[in-house]
A and B are shown apart, each in its own frame.
Chain A
Amino acid sequence: MALLQIAEPGQSPQPHQRRLAVGIDLGTTNSLVAAVRSGLSETLADADGQVILPSAVRYHADRVEVGETARVAASGDPLNTVLSVKRLMGRGVEDVKQLGEQLPYRFVDGESHMPFIDTVQGPKSPVEVSADILKTLRQRAEASLGGELVGAVITVPAYFDEAQRQATKDAARLAGLSVLRLLNEPTAAAVAYGLDQQAEGVVAIYDLGGGTFDISILRLTGGVFEVLATGGDSALGGDDFDHAIAGWMIEQAGLSADLDPGAQRSLLQAACMAKEALTVNTSVDLSHGAWHGLLSREQFDALIEPMVQRSLKSCRRAVRDAGVGLEEIEAVVMVGGSTRVPRVRQAVAELFGREPLTDIDPDQVVAIGAAIQADTLAGNKRGEGEELLLLDVIPLSLGLETMGGLMEKVIPRNTTIPVARAQDFTTYKDGQTAMMIHVLQGERELISDCRSLARFELRGIPPMVAGAAKIRVTFQVDADGLLSVAARELASGVEASIQVKPSYGLTDGEIARMLRDSFQNAGDDKAARVLREQQVDAQRLLEAVEAALLADGERLLEAGERLAIEAQMQQLRELMEGSDGLAIEQQTKRLTQVTDAFAARRLDATVKAALAGRSLNEIEE
């Protein structure tokens, strides 16, 4: 094989196969998968032509049923059918009790603090249930696109905290999906609209889904989406409208509120149908058992008004956080099925003083945007100037516990990520040799009102008088919004750090068991899968290095350095033909090592070139 491949500038060194990547909207009520095909982002349908997959999972003794049939079966088999599982993601047993006055499941304890739902197939964590939905979407995409996926962009509500994000990533891992990026749902919607309509200026994304509400204020400028502020409510959505109608029915029919799970389900289904009917009709007939009644749209509007007002309040706060005026907002994008409710559209139009945009199907717009981003991240480059960049923010402040049970913010909410920030603390007792670092998330002052993310201890501080030690705590949030924290005593250099593993995540033991189970269930050969993953990793690296050499090898490398890199590449190519996974992995690492310095030089050069206001190509000329 030739060591040097020659290609025209701007072309890939080898005819590049398009890398298949999808965008997934893992929703509370419905989930969707979309992909970019022939330059167009579109949702993918199942064999029956259905695009929407209801987020319903029914467990049978010997199989798992996902989607519409499971949803329909919910009232007949409430204990084994899980709906709206997204509301349980990353939640502890206590949270769930607070949330779910109307959750008809039997919960059992697991190894971690996560609530497990007791089903005929044994206890299922919300992560496993979500993974079953993701698996169905993955299979649909692979069948529809005709190949294996490189990865997926999965959307999450902007308001999701660390635990909920981590749980979503765990679910993807269980479903055998490589996560290219977790993307905030409103940002995804903006991507869909921004590219299609070349919008510029400040826009608001009002996203009222089944279980969550998000508001985001974004600035769009030449392909860069800058999130100015986000806000919302992770427990407000169309499901609450259903509950409001169901509550009204219980009251009108004089039923006891303490219904059995089956009756609860059928009541909620009737309520949901009534809500949908009221989008077009001004009243709807309802019945439950012997009771019949009529619900007018005015009555419905009154029932949901408190929830609509709650959403508007979040909007006003986000606009303030963004530092813009309501009048500066040039477009309001509607996302989520619940924005079909006429009262919602009307209230939003009144607040922003303009009609909201509803051109793209509000149920599909998030998946469509996610697919566009997935396509870019998978390395299917767009033309110059069309390249997308998302500058996201953290939705909630991150901080530390300080004296007196107070939360000291280290990174305030709505800070652009990635971000790294350090804060110095000191000891408060003479001779203190250890310090507890308690990482928190939230906006309130008292730590009891914030969410505890992690605790760890910095030990081995040399004994000094109180206040003499200087402990620097560094927070780093990556582009997915995931946090790691490190603490270091500056005089002695002792260190401790933690990748924040939220308290309501799964334990490693649980993840291992679930992965094992999923391999068995899928009849998958683990070794073969691992080998395939290593081959894919190796191939990715080879392609990246090839592209880098082609672009900058001449300019940034000595002849000897280049030869060394090429020798390692050749060796990796040869190993990839074989089936020794370990050898491939080791060689991949070796190649990474020899290209480290090159990588650093390239990044520096890129920055310098950007500073000079010119692209690399121009410098070469």
Chain B
Amino acid sequence: MGSPCHFALFDLQPSFRLDLEQLAVRYRELARNVHPDRFADASEREQRLALEHSASLNEAYRTLKHAPSRARYLLALRGDELPLEVTVQDPDFLMQQMHWREELEDLQDSADLAGVAVFKRRLKVAQDELNESFAVCWDAPQRRTEAERLMRRMQFLDKLSHEVRQLEERLDD
């Protein structure tokens, strides 16, 4: 079985703008139909098929509901070569990255939980803005290269938000 396009699995057109609420509803509806629990009584083959369907559905949902992975998937669908790690030619953003990181280190040194909360809110705003820019860019075919650059930025902010969570965990100790 080849793997069908994640969007097609949900009967959606490939697009960055996605009604997440609707996606969740669809996901639950589909999951309900293919989850192995529905086949507890069925033949072995049916159980195996259900397992496979369910696993690919979960994978598709995970990819689409998360903005950075959705952006990356869209670019990959279009056939762009997208190695995970590249040298990013984006000097403005590199500067900004450095600032973010320095701030995070300071927060760690001062064990400032309230400061982390503020940092998180700012990060969230930046992520929302970036998502919006990507969406605009994605709708305009002539701005392709830009789309990839924005996706890289999204990935970075995503990584940063993971680091913030790890920091929260360390400060919680």
**Which residues of chain A are within 8 angstroms of B38 by Cβ–Cβ distance?**
389
Q: Given A415-B62, A416-B58, verify A479-B35 contact (CB < 8 Å).
A: yes
Contact in complex: B59, A391 (CB < 8 Å)? no
Q: Mark A378-406, 1 if CB is under 8 A from B, else 0.
A: 11000000010111000000000000000
What are the residues of chain A within 8 A of B44 when measuring CB–CB?
592
Q: Is the CB of A606 within 8 A of B33?
A: yes
User: Does A478 have its Cβ within 8 Å of any Cβ on chain B?
Assistant: yes
Produce 1/0 per residue, B38-72, CB < 8 A to A: 10111111100111111110110110000000000
A543 in the interface, Cβ–Cβ < 8 Å?
yes
- Per-position 1/0 for A453-472, Cβ under 8 A of B: 00000000000000000000
CA–CA, A596 to B28, complex, Å? 26
Specify which of B50, B56, B62 is in contact with A603 (CB 8 Å cutoff). Answer: B50
A324 in the interface (beta carbon within 8 A): no
Contacts of A419 in B (CB 8 A): 55, 58-59
**How big is the A interface, by class?**
35 or more
B residues near A301, Cβ cutoff 8 Å: none
Q: Is A173 part of the contact surface with B, judged by Cβ < 8 Å? A: no
Using A389-B35, A599-B49 as known contacts, say yes or no to A316 and B41 having CB atoms under 8 A apart.
Answer: no
Which chain B residues numbered 148 to 173 have a C-beta less than 8 Å away from chain A? 165, 168-169, 172-173
Indicate if the CB atoms of B54 and A611 lie closer than 8 Å.
Answer: no
The answer to whether A479 and B53 touch across the interface, beta carbons within 8 angstroms, is no
Chain A window 295-326, contacts with chain B (Cβ cutoff 8 Å), 1 for yes, 0 for no: 00000000000000000010011001000000
Question: Which residues on the B side are within 8 Å of A603 (C-beta)?
Answer: 34, 46, 49-50, 53
- Of chain B, the residue at the smallest CB distance from A609 is B33
Q: Check A390–B45 contact: CB distance below 8 A.
A: no
Question: Does A541 sit within 8 A of B, measured CB to CB?
Answer: yes
- Cα distance A437–B55 when bound, in Å? 23
Chain A, residues 158-192, CB within 8 Å of chain B (1/0): the string is 00000000000000000000001100000000000
Closest Cβ–Cβ distance, residue B145 to chain A (whole Å): 27
A595 within 8 A of B: yes
Q: A180-B40, A377-B40, A600-B45 are in contact. Are A387 and B172 (CB under 8 A)?
A: no
A529 contacts partner chain B, Cβ-Cβ < 8 Å: no
Knowing A317-B169, A596-B43, say if A224 contacts B54 (CB, 8 Å).
no
User: Is there an interface contact between B172 and A316, defined as CB atoms closer than 8 Å?
Assistant: yes
Q: How many A-B residue pairs have CB under 8 A?
A: 108
A592–B49 Cα gap in the complex (Å)? 14
B37 at the interface (CB under 8 A from A): yes
| A110 on the B face (CB < 8 A) | no
Closest A residue, CB atoms, query B51: A418
B29 CB–A CB distance under 8 Å: yes
Closest chain B residue to A180 by CB distance? Answer: B40
- Interface residue? A417 (CB, 8 A): yes
- B30 and A389 within 8 A (CB): no
* Contacting residues, chain B, for A609 (C-beta < 8 A): 33
The reply to whether A476 and B55 contact each other, CB–CB distance below 8 Å, is yes
> Judging by beta carbons under 8 Å apart, are A379 and B59 in contact?
no
Q: Tell me, in angstroms, the Cα distance from A122 to B108 when the chains sit together.
A: 56
In the assembled complex, which residues on chain B have CB atoms less than 8 Å from the CB atom of A226? 28
Q: Which residue in B24, B49, B55, B169 is a CB contact (below 8 Å) of A320?
A: B169
Interface size on B, residues (CB 8 A): 38
Residues of chain B within 8 A of A389, CB atoms compared: 28, 31-32, 35, 37-38
State which of A378, A387, A544, A606 has its C-beta within 8 Å of the C-beta of B34: A606
A467-494 interface mask toward B, CB cutoff 8 Å, 1 = contact, 0 = none?
Answer: 0000000001011000000000000000
Note all chain B residues with C-beta closer than 8 A to A420: 52, 55-56, 59
Residue A540 interfacial (CB < 8 Å)? yes
The reply to whether the CB of A607 lies closer than 8 angstroms to some CB of chain B is yes
The interface centre, meaning the residue of B10, B44, B54, B62 with most chain A CB atoms within 10 A of its CB, is B54
- Given A420-B59, A421-B59, A611-B11: A391 and B46 interface contact (C-beta under 8 Å): no
CB-nearest residue of chain A to B12: A611
Is residue A294 contacting chain B, with contact meaning CB distance below 8 A? no
CB of A221 within 8 Å of the partner chain? yes
- Determine the residue in chain B with the shortest Cβ distance to A376: B37
Contact (Cβ within 8 A) B30 A391: no
Q: Which residues of B contact A545 (CB under 8 A)?
A: 43
A545-B41 Cα distance, complex, nearest whole Å: 10
Q: Which residues of A contact B35 (CB under 8 A)?
A: 389, 391, 479
Cβ contact within 8 Å between A595 and B54:
no
Query: Is A222 at the interface (CB under 8 A from chain B)?
Result: yes
A120 nearest CB across to chain B (Å) = 40
In whole angstroms, what is the CA distance A562 to B165 when docked? 57
Q: Is the CB of A224 within 8 A of B32?
A: yes
B55 in contact with A595 (CB, 8 Å):
no
Question: Contact: B36 with A607, CB < 8 Å?
Answer: no
Contact indicator A222/B28 (Cβ below 8 Å) = yes
B45 touches which of A224, A379, A599, A610 (Cβ 8 Å): A599
Pairwise interchain contact A607-B42, C-beta atoms closer than 8 A: no
* B59 CB, nearest partner CB in chain A, Å: 7
- Determine if A479 and B36 form an interchain contact, defined as CB atoms under 8 angstroms apart: yes
Complex: how many Å from CA A379 to CA B165? 43
**Which single residue of chain B is at the shortest CB-CB distance from A224?**
B28
Chain A contacts of B50 at CB under 8 A? 603
Q: Which residues of A contact B43 (CB under 8 A)?
A: 541, 544-545, 592, 595-596, 599
Chain B hits for A387, CB < 8 A: 32
Q: Do A377 and B37 have beta carbons less than 8 Å apart? A: yes
Shortest Cβ distance from A244 into chain B, in angstroms?
A: 21
Q: Which of A378, A391, A415 contacts B31 (CB 8 A)?
A: A391
Neighbouring A residues of B61 by C-beta, 8 Å = 416
Assess whether A610 is in contact with B40, with CB atoms less than 8 Å apart: no
Ranked nearest first, the 7 interchain pairs of A and B with the lowest CB-CB distance are: A420-B55, A599-B46, A479-B36, A610-B33, A611-B11, A377-B40, A224-B28
Knowing that A224-B31, A317-B172, A479-B36 are A-B contacts, what are 4 other residue pairs whose CB atoms are under 8 Å apart, sorted by A's residue number? Answer: A180-B40, A417-B58, A479-B37, A543-B41
Contacts A/B (CB < 8 Å), 21 sampled: A181-B37, A224-B32, A377-B37, A389-B32, A389-B35, A389-B38, A390-B37, A391-B35, A416-B58, A416-B61, A420-B59, A421-B59, A479-B35, A596-B43, A599-B45, A599-B49, A600-B49, A602-B46, A603-B53, A606-B33, A611-B10
Which residues on A are within 8 Å of B, measured CB to CB?
180-181, 221-222, 224, 226, 313, 316-317, 320, 376-379, 387, 389-391, 415-421, 476, 478-479, 540-541, 543-545, 592, 595-596, 599-600, 602-603, 606-607, 609-613
B interface with A by C-beta (< 8 Å): 10-11, 24, 28-38, 40-46, 49-56, 58-59, 61-62, 165, 168-169, 172-173
